[in-house]
Structure 1
Amino acid sequence: MSQFASRRLPPVPEEAASFRERMRNLRHLGRLLAQIWRTSRFLTAASIGLRLVAAVQPVAMLYVGKLIIDEVVRLSGSPAPGSTLAEWWASGSLNTIAVLLLIELGLVIGSDLLSRLTGLADSVLGELHSNTVSVELMAHAARLDLRHFESAEYQDRLERARRQAAGRNALLSQIFGQAQDIITVITLGAGLFVYAPWLIALLPLSFVPAIWGETRFNTLAYYLSRGRTPERRELEYIRHVGASAETAKEIKLFGLGGFLINRFRTLAQTIFVENRRIAIQRAGWGALFAAIATLTYYGAYGYIVWRTITGAFSIGDLAFLSGSFLRLNGLFQRILLGFTSIAGQSLYLDDLFSFFEIEPTIVPPAHPKPFPQPIRRGVEFENVGFRYPDTDTWAIRNLSFTLAAGETLALVGENGAGKTTIVKLMTRLYDPDEGRITVDGVDLRDMLIEDIHAHIGVIFQDFIRYSLTARENIGVGRIELQDDMDRIKAAAEQSLADGVIAKLPLGYEQPLGRLFNKGRDLSGGEWQKIAIARAYMRDAELIILDEPTAALDAKAEAEVFARFKSLAAGKTAVIISHRFSTVRMADRILVLENGAILESGSHQDLVALGGRYAELFDLQAAGYR
């Protein structure tokens, strides 16, 4: 059995959450209602107003029905004014019953209209609210630090929040429906109390057991779902890898289809077994509690029938009381089950709102200083040390160097030497744990993050291939200028992407990728030229290219960097590359090892030194001989 198959899911808690914990989670309902109100005040008010009117409709229907029955009984016991409808109508005997029937008809039509209008308001409000939550979720995620996105725990929390952003819309109708049912219960209870007060005492017997069951199983289902978040994310990952255009070639060539299917089936079956166990228990207990509720209702119904036989109640009273008790029984169960359901839903709301409570650790300064424009002296690392979160190993330590203004600096070293970590710190995606990083003497921590990013153009090796048009793929380099075609075309020309775009049927308006209709995919090298154009689109003071030509052949790489060298004149640049044909074009090279500078100098200096750089250069050069 594989390691994956032998893994066990987190145990389902046998005890429900404490009452205090469930009540504490209800605080999120206030935040939800405020969020709904922000979404649309008009639709929120309309939904509440319609439900207030609909809340008194059931007792009105029952009471009008009672009056109709009593009037029918009275008329049937009175002398007939004639044998035809015309004679009855002419006598005026049917006036009262006709008015009552018209009132009942109006109530029925009004009930249907209210229901449809309420459903319409809730449907539109629910969709708007889903969009509002999704926007707020993306906005908050954009505020957070890179450290959050590189954390598995954060990814679990983000996944739970995403599910709740799209899955809590039914809660809107549920909360408003609860208020409507409470008003209806009050009106029905008042009528029932007038005739037979003690019948109300039977109601708890019918719904309290069901409430206990629902509370328990709602909570168990939540904690099982929460504990399964990593497994659910893995399921989605396997589902994506097993059926996506990006992985299709390798899946077929390596014959991985069966492996992925078995892995998916094993995990899905384990989750299914846990869900089935709770579903079976819930169904069994639910049937028992439903039987108790039914017996309670028929006991009360039998008492009302007996009192009617003895003459204490009229036939209309019988209809009104039995109908009221039946509705009250159902409403009480619905209210309390709804309350426990809302309490259970509030546990899921905690997944959403607790995500909004995550605060970024890289915060703007109280009195920010502007990013130097242009850079006159350079960027300086002063005894910088950094460890990634939840690790004890220093990625870099006691690192000091200066990137002079207008200089092109190359970073060389094996994987894990600290090259990309330097870029993350230089762009303030992370803050150093020790030392400081300055631009013209100003600490990066004294600048606004947005200002830093606006003046630095970065292209990583794992750049995003946006399923957007070619124009938009370049325009994201400076999003506020995405409609500036002159600038976009200039950036494409500088990165040699213009030749790629010229071959596309729709040119700059050609959708890229195969995700959507009419999309055209590009080769790795073509995509890389599009990505490099984003850096030129930015026209930043500091340009950073992290393995920018990894997907290019030697000829294309030479063309790109010859162009880059001429265009970067007067700008400050950092290049990370494993190809020494690229590195040797830099003004200065830093050779990194274990987060420290091992060697520093120009290509000629380092080759003459005969150290680590020379060794790596000779190894790579030997591959071309």
Structure 2
Amino acid sequence: MDELKRKPKYSLFSNLKFILGNMWKWEKRLTVFMFLRSPFAVITPFIGIYLSKEVVDAVVRKSTPAEVLYLIAAISFALLACLIVDKYLGVQLQKFMMIHDFHYQMVILDKCIRSDYENMESAAGLTRISKAMEHCGYDISDARIIANVLSSLAANIIGAISYAAVLFRLSPWILLAVTLTTLSGFFALKITASWRYRNKDYWKVYDRKLNYLRENSGDFTRAKDIRLYTMTDWFQDVFAATLSDRMKWHKKEQMLGFGADGLRAFMSLLREGIAYGLLVFLIFANDLTAADFVFYFSVIGGFTTWLNGIVGDFDSINRCHLGFSEIREYLDYPDKSNRGPGIPLPIETFSIEFKNVSYRYQGSSEDTIKNLSFRIDKGEKIAIVGLNGAGKTTLVKLMCGLYNPTEGEILINGQPVNAYNREDYYSLFSVVFQEIFVMPMSIARNVSSATEDDTDRQRVWSTIALAGLSSKIDKLPEGIDTKLIKSVYDDAVDLSGGEMQKLALARALYKNGKALILDEPTAALDPIAESHIYMEYSRMTSGNTSVFISHRLASTQFCDRIFFMEKGRIIECGSHDELMSQKGKYYEMFEIQSHYYKDEVMEDVVA
């Protein structure tokens, strides 16, 4: 696992330039308020220190109580004014930080929903997304932290320089001792942060496993199997073993942090001893007055605070720098698809052609799709059949642009698919997959996949009727305005599996793409029901190109051509009658399946 140890792709300077550039581009007021607050953060504590010195000085001079009270009131008023301004700027700063934070979340979300599907599906892609999301959480994020830290750093630097000038007048040696002992803590923190970054991928593996176990142990859709198949012990054993492995890394991290904190504590003790020892020496040598002692005592404490702040800020910046490197690695990860301008989409004619197309999944040692070549013309009804694992779904994903070929090319009307803008290309296909996805919003919007204003309600009703779902919708009080997913809305409904399939068909019909692709959405139904639904789909999309995926050969006899797939290749192609007459693999499987279905029907009759 040595490959997991790595260095950030982007330098600290590059990331700071990226961060400040985005701040100025997205929310200029954040940059202004961030640096405007810094002087007040320095002046406010200095007024407090100055107040202590002046009060002691007034007492030593034997000033009258009225003079002392007047002095306290005047300085306190200035202190109060600075505090009010500082708090106001702080509130405004937090508001603009939140807006700035949302920009990063939106940029990452946009990348997630627009990036190539392959980048979302692979293990490496999921890891990149997970890392980027980790640094842009809703409660706390590196974007918000860095804005806070840069504001704090500006104040700490101004404060450190101001207090250093005061201390230099007293003794350059005190200034040097305090500076060196404080900055040593920065290197301890930097070593710790670098170790975490180099090794975090080791424990990320265990974190993913633990998250999976937590989520699935509480998922009601898996609760039946967990109980009936005695998976409880398995969950507990795997959780305990994974947690034990994770804790080993946690202990290493804690020990390193303990060592760094111990070094910082020792250097802090050394710093305080040197500084305050010299002050005591000077006061006994009559080189300092009581008021000066109080003043410099506080200044040394303040200077130490500013320096510690700088050390802490640089540690936070270093952490955020590492986090932003992972954000940028994800945002900059290239897409193979054309996201820019493309040629116009076909209007009248429409053909799909595969030329020597092969596809290999990331990390796989062999191709899943192997050197496929075929052409589908407008209006053709094509069936892609074969056993599970033959490559049918992979072929569909290549066809509709979710995957890019490893070798060969895919043409639409004779043009390579990357000649078209990818978002435009997606509009050519109405696809119904096995896993049907609905959003927690109205039925109408789930069908239209558009905003309320852009939804054609009459068209929604029309496609729902064609899909055979209108009888269900008519019974709902709010009709097509009924929300879906009860776990999100109390007044929502949850559709049955069959109703979900009809909703997915309505969505595909509403989209009205040039090609309808059905990737076994009816696999859970019995063969007769599946065959009936496929026939209905074919009738409703008459004149359009249709592709039907199934491992049940009886469901697709009506198609113009049937591609029989095995191990990533099309080994037979033709109409049902042609393939049956060849008495090849298609014929053998059809006969086996037909006998099975006949036996099943006879059993039902006897029962």
Q: TM-score, with normalisation over the residues of structure 1?
A: 0.88
Structure 1 distance, partners of 2:591, 2:4, is 59
Pair 622,264 (structure 1): closer, same or farther in 2 beyond 3 Å = same
Tell me the residue number matched to 1:619. Answer: 592
Tell me the residue number matched to 1:156. Answer: 127
Q: What is the DSSP-based 3-state SS (H/G/I as helix, E as strand, rest coil) of the residue aligned with 1:574?
A: strand
Q: Equivalences for 1:528-547 in 2 at 5 Å?
A: 528-547=501-520
Asked whether the 8 Å contact 1:297–1:329 carries over to 2, the reply is no
Tell me the residue number matched to 1:137. Answer: 108
> Which of 545, 559, 563 is equivalent to 1:572?
545
Aligned-pair distance for 1:285? Answer: 4.4
1:554-578 CA-to-partner distances (Å, cap 9, x unmatched) read 5653553343222111111111112
1:350 aligns with 2:308: no
Asked whether the 8 Å contact 1:548–1:577 carries over to 2, the reply is no
1:202-225 CA-to-partner distances (Å, cap 9, x unmatched) read 113431332232222222223332
Q: What is the DSSP-based 3-state SS (H/G/I as helix, E as strand, rest coil) of the residue aligned with 1:394?
A: coil
Q: Equivalences for 1:82-97 in 2 at 5 Å?
A: 94-95=66-67, 97=68
Tell me the residue number matched to 1:215. Answer: 190
Aligned-pair distance for 1:240? Answer: 1.4
Pair 387,298 (structure 1): closer, same or farther in 2 beyond 3 Å = closer
Structure 2 distance, partners of 1:118, 1:223, is 38
Aligned-pair distance for 1:364? Answer: 4.9
Tell me the residue number matched to 1:507. Answer: 479
1:63-82 CA-to-partner distances (Å, cap 9, x unmatched) read 23322221221125xxxxxx
Tell me the residue number matched to 2:136. Answer: 165
Q: Equivalences for 1:217-616 in 2 at 5 Å?
A: 217-364=192-339, 368-375=342-349, 378-476=351-449, 483-518=455-490, 519-553=492-526, 556-616=529-589
Structure 2 distance, partners of 1:300, 1:364, is 62
Aligned-pair distance for 1:498? Answer: 2.4
Structure 2 distance, partners of 1:111, 1:385, is 69
| Greater Cα shift, 349-358 or 586-595 | 586-595
Structure 2 distance, partners of 1:486, 1:318, is 84
Asked whether the 8 Å contact 1:56–1:183 carries over to 2, the reply is no
- The residue identity in structure 2 corresponding to 1:429 is L
Q: CA RMSD in A?
A: 2.7
Tell me the residue number matched to 1:204. Answer: 179
Q: Which runs of 5+ in 2 are unaligned?
A: 599-607
Structure 2 distance, partners of 1:243, 1:437, is 43
1:503-524 CA-to-partner distances (Å, cap 9, x unmatched) read 4454323332343132432322
Aligned-pair distance for 1:384? Answer: 2.9
Q: What is the DSSP-based 3-state SS (H/G/I as helix, E as strand, rest coil) of the residue aligned with 2:72?
A: helix
Structure 2 distance, partners of 1:205, 1:51, is 24
1:222-243 CA-to-partner distances (Å, cap 9, x unmatched) read 3332332232222222211111
Tell me the residue number matched to 2:25. Answer: 38
Structure 2 distance, partners of 1:107, 1:269, is 57
Asked whether the 8 Å contact 2:463–2:510 carries over to 1, the reply is yes
Q: TM-score, with normalisation over the residues of structure 2?
A: 0.90
- The residue identity in structure 2 corresponding to 1:486 is Q
Structure 2 distance, partners of 1:115, 1:156, is 41
Asked whether the 8 Å contact 1:386–1:433 carries over to 2, the reply is yes
Aligned-pair distance for 1:535? Answer: 0.8
- The residue identity in structure 1 corresponding to 2:366 is T
Structure 2 distance, partners of 1:198, 1:383, is 77
Structure 2 distance, partners of 1:324, 1:120, is 28
Once superposed, which parts of structure 1, at least 4 consecutive aligned residues long, lie more than 6 Å away?
9-13
Asked whether the 8 Å contact 2:360–2:366 carries over to 1, the reply is yes
> Which of 45, 49, 60 is equivalent to 1:62?
49
Structure 1 distance, partners of 2:452, 2:118, is 27
Q: What is the DSSP-based 3-state SS (H/G/I as helix, E as strand, rest coil) of the residue aligned with 1:247?
A: helix
Pair 514,265 (structure 1): closer, same or farther in 2 beyond 3 Å = farther
Q: Equivalences for 1:105-116 in 2 at 5 Å?
A: 105-116=76-87
Pair 23,333 (structure 1): closer, same or farther in 2 beyond 3 Å = farther
Pair 593,299 (structure 1): closer, same or farther in 2 beyond 3 Å = closer
- The residue identity in structure 1 corresponding to 2:103 is T
Q: Which runs of 5+ in 1 are unaligned?
A: 1-8, 77-87
Aligned-pair distance for 1:359? Answer: 1.0
Tell me the residue number matched to 1:50. Answer: 37
Asked whether the 8 Å contact 2:443–2:484 carries over to 1, the reply is yes
Pair 114,260 (structure 1): closer, same or farther in 2 beyond 3 Å = farther
